[in-house]
């Protein structure tokens, strides 16, 4: 992969995570993230370390999805 394509690949990966194809444990991950965001939390996901912020709002569904 060319270095100039890396930002595009990261962008597409993020969109895939937030898509309605990300269905884990009988529900969509995006719905759960929307609920967290609706409570005025900033959501941050570090894909390299697989860490999610805010830590108090992480669920098994989000953990599983990040782990895939």
Give the integer Cα–Cα distance in Å for 35 and 12. 23
* Sequence-ordered list of residues with C-beta below 8 angstroms from that of 28, at least 6 positions apart, any chain: 20, 22
> CB of 33 within 8 A of CB of 54?
no
Helix (H, G, I), strand (E, B) or coil at 68: coil
Range of the domain at 44: 3-67
**Predicted pLDDT at 65:** 94
**Predicted pLDDT at 1:** 60
* Count of domains for the chain: 1
Given a cut of 90, whether residue 43 has pLDDT beyond it is: yes
Higher pLDDT, 41 or 14: 41
* Predicted structure pTM score: 0.78
Given a cut of 70, whether residue 46 has pLDDT beyond it is: yes
């Amino acid at each position: 992969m060319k270095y100039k394509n890396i930002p595009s690949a990261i962008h597409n990966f993020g969109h895939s995570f937030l898509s309605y194809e990300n269905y884990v444990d009988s529900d969509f991950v995006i719905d759960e993230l929307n609920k967290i965001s609706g409570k005025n939390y900033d959501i941050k996901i570090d894909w390299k370390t697989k860490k999610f912020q805010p830590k108090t709002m992480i669920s098994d569904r989000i953990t599983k999805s990040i782990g895939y």
